[in-house]
């Protein structure tokens, strides 16, 4: 291969690599790297739901796994005999969450009497075998509110004014039709953690079914931070642990729900 052909080949290769989505640089790195040994711990996802429905709150409990266990696909990470306790700081009430007996809900723990109070602090404590005790806290956001008289649906549009609250860090707004479920509804996301107003509007084209209700979900700081944490499968890319608990990994957060029915 002559020199000019080599240069042309390298040039074309560089253009190919540049236009591909392959990573060319490592991700952001921490300032300090600390070598630690793997310690088996709890990994949870727990949500207290202020929706007025007893039993809707849950805590999903698993244990962490080594890389070998993850790729062997033979290990069950579920924890079915944990002691899951929720504590209400407002009235000092204690709630024991029991392991679900519903098929397909293995590893989920629920309590049928807890109805979380808005703007109240709750804490969780989870113990399982010889694993480190996991704990966390959450402040229940208030039920989302809209400005009086602002809800209107006409001429192919639904709109209202959402009243933002500093204790709600993110809002999810679902527009549901009578024939559609939450999974295929129209979704809007609005940032919170401020006081003020936000106009929300949704349009649908001719031939589409008009929304029959609006579901507004306010999230606490923990759930917002955990769901918005960046993730990547690119090797050698560093991301900070988004966990909102101590003594383990995962999230313990809360949300509040308001449903608006439309004519």
Local confidence band at 169 (pLDDT 50, 70, 90 cut-offs): very high
Token pair, residue 234, equals 């690119």
Distance CA 162, CA 256 (A): 14
pLDDT at 230 exceeding the cut of 90: no
Asked if 136 and 46 sit in the same domain, the reply is: yes
- Residue 46: closest CA among 153, 126, 161: 126
Angstrom distance (rounded) from CA 70 to CA 67: 5
Per-residue confidence (pLDDT) for residue 28, from 0 to 100: 63
In sign, the C-alpha dihedral spanning 207, 208, 210, 212 is: positive
Are residues 154 and 227 both part of a single domain? Answer: no
Same-domain pairing of 188 and 236:
no
Q: How confident is the model at residue 104 (pLDDT cuts 50, 70, 90)?
A: confident
Does residue 19 form part of some domain? no
Q: Flag whether 117 is in a domain.
A: yes
For the record, the structure tokens of 230 come out as: 């960046």
Indicate if the pLDDT at residue 96 is higher than 50.
yes
Residue 78: inside a domain: yes
Judged against a pLDDT cut of 50, whether residue 72 lies above it is answered with yes
Contact by Cβ (8 Å): 89, 122: yes
Residue 121 sits in the same domain as residue 149: no
Check whether 225 has a pLDDT greater than 60: yes
Is 135 in the same domain as 244?
yes
Helices (H), the chain: 3-19, 67-72, 221-227
Whether 57 and 130 map to the same domain: the answer is: yes
Mean pLDDT score, 176-197: 80
CATH number at residue 227: 2.60.40.10
Residues 6 or more apart in contact with residue 52 via CB below 8 angstroms? 115, 257
Mark whether 125 and 209 lie in a shared domain: no
| 246 secondary structure, DSSP code | B
Confidence of residue 26 (pLDDT cuts 50, 70, 90): low
Query: 173 near 159, Cβ under 8 Å?
Result: no
Evaluate whether residue 260 is within a structural domain.
no
pLDDT band at 91 (very low <50, low <70, confident <90, very high): confident
Residue 189 lies in a domain: yes
Looking at the fold, whether 237 and 129 belong to one and the same domain comes out as yes
- Tell me which residue range forms the domain holding 77: 42-141+221-254
Q: Are residues 127 and 152 in the same domain?
A: no
Q: What total of structural domains would you count in the chain?
A: 2
What is the pLDDT, as a whole number, of residue 2?
54
| pLDDT for res 29 | 63
Q: What is the pLDDT of residue 12?
A: 44
More confident call, 165 vs 206: 165
Residue 202 in domain: yes
- Is the residue at 79 inside a domain? yes
Indicate the pLDDT class of residue 236, thresholds 50, 70 and 90. low
For residues 21 and 222, the model is more confident at 222
Residues 178 and 52 in one domain: no
pLDDT tens profile 109-150: 999 999 999 999 999 999 998 899 999 999 999 999 999 999
Is position 47 within any domain? yes
**Given a cut of 50, is residue 13 above it in pLDDT?**
no
CA dihedral 229, 235, 237, 238 (to 10 degrees): 80
Cβ-in-10-Å burial (0-12, 13-18, 19+) of 101 comes to exposed
Residues 160 and 233 in one domain: no
55 and 131 within one domain? yes
């Amino acid at each position: 291969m002559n020199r000019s052909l080599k240069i042309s080949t390298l040039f074309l290769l560089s253009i190919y690599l540049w236009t591909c989505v392959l990573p060319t640089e490592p991700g952001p790195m921490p300032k300090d790297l600390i070598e630690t040994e793997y310690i088996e711990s709890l990994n949870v996802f727990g949500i207290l739901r202020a929706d007025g429905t007893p039993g809707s709150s849950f805590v999903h409990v698993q244990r962490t796994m080594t890389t070998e266990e993850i790729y062997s696909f033979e290990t069950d990470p579920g924890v079915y005999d944990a002691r899951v306790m929720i504590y209400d700081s407002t009235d000092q009430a204690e709630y024991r969450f029991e392991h679900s007996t519903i098929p397909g809900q293995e590893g989920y723990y629920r309590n049928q009497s807890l109805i979380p109070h808005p703007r109240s602090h709750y804490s969780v404590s989870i113990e399982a075998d010889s694993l480190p005790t996991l704990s966390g806290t959450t402040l229940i956001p208030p039920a989302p509110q809209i400005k009086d008289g602002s809800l209107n649906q006409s001429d192919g549009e639904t709109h209202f004014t959402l009243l933002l609250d500093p204790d709600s860090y993110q809002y999810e707004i679902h527009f549901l039709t009578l024939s559609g479920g939450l999974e295929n509804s129209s979704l809007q996301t609005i940032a919170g953690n401020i006081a003020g107003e936000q106009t929300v509007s949704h349009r649908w084209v001719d031939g589409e079914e008009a929304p029959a209700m609006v579901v507004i979900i306010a999230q606490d700081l923990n759930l917002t931070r955990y769901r918005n944490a960046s993730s990547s499968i690119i090797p050698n890319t560093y991301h900070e642990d988004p966990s909102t608990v101590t003594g383990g990994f995962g999230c313990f957060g809360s949300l509040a729900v308001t449903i608006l029915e439309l004519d």
